[in-house]
Amino acid sequence: MTRITVTPNPFTLVPYDVGEITALVEEAAALAGLPPGVDIDLTVDEELFAPLTGHMSDVVDGRVVLWISGGNFEDNRRPCHFSADQARVDLAVMMLRANDRLSDDFAAAPPDAELSRGERAAWDTYAVGRARALGIDVRRPRQLYDFRLQHGFTDVADAAFDRCWEARSITWDGIREICKETGATDRAPSKVPVDLLRQK
Amino acid sequence: MKKMLPESELARDERFVRTKIEDRIFDPRGPKIAQRNTGPARMGVDRPAAGERSRSLMHGIFVGEIQALEGAGRTCYDFDDDTAPFQLKLDMARQCWDESRHCEISVKLGDHMGTEIGEYTESTFLFAAACNPDPVFRLCGVNRALEGLAIDVFSSMKEFGNESGDPILEFCEDWMLADEVTHVKMGSDWLRRLTETDPDRRERALEFQRTVDAIFNLGGFRGEDDENPIQLARDFRRLAGFSDDENDSLAALARESTEQAREMAAMATAALDASAQGS
Amino acid sequence: MTEQTEPRAPFAPWDRRELPGLFSVEESARRVGNYKWAEMRLFEVLGGWVATVPELDVKLVLGRHTYHHAWHAELWHKRLPELREMNPDRLTMPPNDEFVTFMEAVREPEAPEHTIEKLVGVYRVLIPRFIAVYTYHLNATSRITDAPTIRSLTFALQDEFEDWRDGEMLLQSLIDTDEKVDRAGRRQAALEKLYLASGGIAGAGSLGSHPAQEVGVR
């Protein structure tokens, strides 16, 4: 049986409900096809608000370890209010990536904190595209813009985006190939750690 | 139709949700974030949440342009021919056209970035700054302070477009920047002409401009450091007619605001911690 | 000895412009002053309405049209001194009090739910009248002596036609119930009666048929 842990419990800065979040995590795990019996730890950084958004999905000792900014769950039109719709999208993407990590196809993938921004953008696109296919209401232009920021505003990058978006099966090597193709691999390493927001 | 429309009566469709600036100021998370390293606030592709930051700013620009259009339009209507010369109203009408065009550009850029109209909240303090009953004060508040801010914002976005390799963003921001330089010059020219024989009125108008400038420096939104999301665009400001003294003054004001924001955050955090220990 | 150039007529065979026109300098100036006053009142209210209409597309169109009519006012402002009116403000006036009443009625709607009333006043009543009075002036005045006015009328008419089309399309998209059809109809009828009482943008004889206006040049 899957054990789901949400931190903090309870929330003290924003009126998010741990029970509601737990149910959404369970829903996302089922949608992503996460094997039963894999425990899930979700940390919500309730200090962060939009636009300081972001999320990370890792597998540590067989457990799915997730981190997300509280801003991702926040209703942009009603500050400090929880948005189940927004949470559903991000949790689905996180679970799909976690499930990828559990598979052999992504066995060689480093932890999220060590991914380059290009690799992360490509992997996210692959996950968001699958979320859409599973019936989650996502916005393609939004994901395209995020992809282009890391891979360039070029025809090559757009073609790579389309492949990631439509793909139902990519491997970690495939992600790296895409980054080589678009030139994301050639970008200078970022001076700002990709997991800066997670660091306290 | 009455003159001097209050900001509470700005007409919007149901997509737009209004917030007050106090909601952000009194958000209990604010002091916490201020004490953390969330990376440079200056826009860049390798900064945390680059896409989300630029989308949020773009939407802010969009609603700002709507208010700028509304402000220019009201200036055409609110003053009779004795209070505001015909030529001034012609310039305001021209500004209506420009701001309308900026709204259109912002909508298209929002589409380009994956934003939807009304996705983020709207604060109407920009229009509030344009509600002054004295046309000279309005010109200083809008055409010098707010359009000056627009120069800084568009310059920052243009740089971001350049850095991210986004030809559309860079192209559009550059065109809008050209218009804003014109608007500031209009404001500076009319300030000079309308207060030629009334230096006291000019000084009071410039004081109002400084007040508006200070509002938009709030929390370190604008400055010359990496922790300011919007960078002071000195070269474009110079082109628009701001003197080096004015730009230096604004930079000093911005630094002061950033420091004040830090101090307030530290105080608020201390207060929150003391309260938590007490309970 | 240099070759002699064969003389040519000063007017090419296809240039059929004639000298006479219906308007004297003073009459043209009077009308231009009326046009300027009306365009000013129009651009002011279009600008003022931007903040009061909730419909985003209407907001942006009004913003653009504000400038068009302001520019027309500026064209007329510049034309007046050329028509021997060195103080343009003197002739910048409505033709009569009834026209003031009409314009006040056009400018009166304010509430956010009155977008239809605002647009009907401008795009189904006032702007078609601008098109009519400008067209009459264009056709009636001397194509040779009053050419600068004709040039400005041509530019202004291009905007008037396009603005009229923009506004009419907005109205057609907004009027989507019988109740709104009735509202638009009532508003239009009320304003047209006020306009009728004024005689027009240039007062009585706005569209001609006034014997005193006919001044031929012999």
pLDDT digits (tens, 9 = 90+) for C118-129: 999 999 999 999
Cβ neighbours around A69 below 10 Å, total: 26
What top-level class would CATH report for the domain C25-207? mainly alpha
Q: Name every chain B residue with its beta carbon within 8 A of the beta carbon of C77.
A: 86
- Three-state DSSP state, A59: strand
Tell me the mean pLDDT in the region A170-189: 95
Residue contact B77–C47, C-beta within 8 A: yes
pLDDT for the residue C217: 41
Residue B217: per-residue pLDDT: 77
Least confident of A26-30, B108-112, B136-140, C53-57: B136-140
CA–CA distances in Å: residue C30 to residues A55, A193, B93, C129, C135: 71, 73, 25, 17, 16
For chain A, what are the domain ranges?
A: 4-102, 109-193
pLDDT digits (tens, 9 = 90+) for B182-239: 999 999 999 999 999 999 999 998 888 888 888 777 677 788 887 788 888 898 888 8
Residues C44 and B90: beta-carbon distance below 8 Å: no
Taking CA atoms, A73 is separated from A47, A80, C23, C121, in Å, by: 12, 9, 72, 47
Q: Establish whether the linkage from the previous residue to A51 is cis, with ω within 30° of 0.
A: yes
Residues of A in contact with B37 (CB under 8 A): 196, 199
Query: What does pTM read for this prediction?
Result: 0.91
**Candidate CATH numbers 1.10.10.60, 3.40.50.2300, 1.20.1260.10, 1.10.10.10; the one for domain B43-278:** 1.20.1260.10
Rounded to whole angstroms, what are the CA distances from C204 to C34, C96, C196, C211, C218?
12, 9, 9, 11, 26
Maximal C-alpha separation, chain A = 47
What is residue B214's predicted lDDT score, i.e. its pLDDT?
82
| Rounded Cα gap, residues C46 and B89, in angstroms | 12
CB contact under 8 A, A77 and B27: no
Mean pLDDT of all residues belonging to chain A: 95
Distance of CA A16 to the CA centre of its chain: 20
**φ, ψ at B118 (rounded to 5°):** 85, 5
Residues from chain B contacting residue A13 (CB–CB below 8 Å): 28-29, 32
Q: What is each CA distance from A83 to A15, A78, B32, C83, in whole angstroms?
A: 11, 9, 22, 67
If 0-12 CB within 10 Å is exposed, 13-18 middle and 19+ buried, where does residue A5 land? middle
ipTM attached to this prediction = 0.93
Instruction: Say what the pLDDT of residue B218 is.
Output: 67
Residue C215 has pLDDT above 60, yes or no: no
**B82: which chain C residues are within 8 Å (Cβ-Cβ)?**
none
pLDDT at position C2: 67
**Long-range CB contacts for residues B264-267, cutoff 8 Å, separation at least 24:** B264/B31, B265/B30, B265/B31, B265/B33, B265/B34, B265/B35, B266/B31, B266/B34, B266/B35, B267/B31
A chain contacts of residue B116, beta-carbon cutoff 8 Å: 139
Number of helices (H), then strands (E), belonging to chain C: the values are: 8, 0
- Chain centre to alpha carbon of residue A162: 18
pLDDT at A110 over 50: yes
Q: B113: which residues sit within 8 A by CB, 6+ positions away? A: A141, A142, A145, B51, B54, B55, B58, B169
The mean pLDDT of A110-120, rounded to a whole number, is 96
Whether residue B182 lies within 8 A of chain A, CB to CB, comes out as no
The CATH architecture one would assign to domain A4-102 is 2-Layer Sandwich (3.30)
Cβ contact A78–B17 (<8 Å): yes
Asked whether the beta carbons of residue C50 and residue B69 sit closer than 8 angstroms, the reply is: yes
Query: Mean pLDDT in chain B?
Result: 88
On the question of pLDDT at C218 being above 60, the answer is no
Task: Give the strand order in the sheet containing A40-45.
Answer: A4-7, A40-45, A63-69, A55-60
- Residue B242 backbone phi and psi in degrees, to 5: -75, 135
For the stretch C175-188, pLDDT in tens is 999 999 999 999 99
Distance between CA atoms of residues A178 and A164, nearest Å: 9
Look at the block and give the residue holding tokens 């992809």.
Answer: A147
Mapping DSSP onto H, E and C, the string for chain B reads CCCCCCHHHCCCCCCCCECCHHHHHCCCHHHHHHCCCCCCCCCCCCCCCHHHHHHHHHHHHHHHHHHHHHHHHHHHHHCCCCCCCHHHHHHHHHHHHHHHHHHHHHHHHHHHHCCCCCCCCECCHHHHHCCCCCHHHHHHHHHHHHHHHHHHHHHHHHHHHHHHCCHHHHHHHHHHHHHHHHHHHHHHHHHHHHCCCCHHHHHHHHHHHHHHHHHHCHHHCEECCCCCCEECCHHHHHHCCCCHHHHHHHHHHHHHHHHHHHHHHHHHHHHHHHHHHHC
Q: Is the pLDDT of residue B263 over 70?
A: yes
**Coil, helix or strand for A161?**
helix
CB contact under 8 A, B73 and C63: yes
The gap between the terminal CA atoms of chain A, to the nearest Å, is 32
Domain limits, chain B? 43-278
Report the chain C residue with the minimal C-alpha distance to residue B92.
Answer: C67
pLDDT in tens, C196-208: 999 999 999 999 9
Minimal Cα–Cα distance from A52 to chain B, Å? 6
* CB pair distance less than 8 Å for A150 and B53: no
Neighbours of chain A (3+ CB pairs under 8 A): B
Cβ contact, residue pair B48, A196, below 8 Å: yes
The percent of residues in chain A predicted with pLDDT above 90, rounded, is 90
**Which of B90, B102, B186 has the highest number of chain C CBs within 10 A, making it the mutation to test binding with C?**
B90
Does the pLDDT at position B279 exceed 60?
A: no
Query: Residue B118's closest chain A neighbor by CA?
Result: A77
Across the interface, whether the CB atoms of A142 and B113 are under 8 A apart is answered: yes
Indicate whether A158 pLDDT > 50: yes
Residues 6+ apart with CB under 8 A from B48: A52, A54, A192, A194, A196, A197, B38, B39
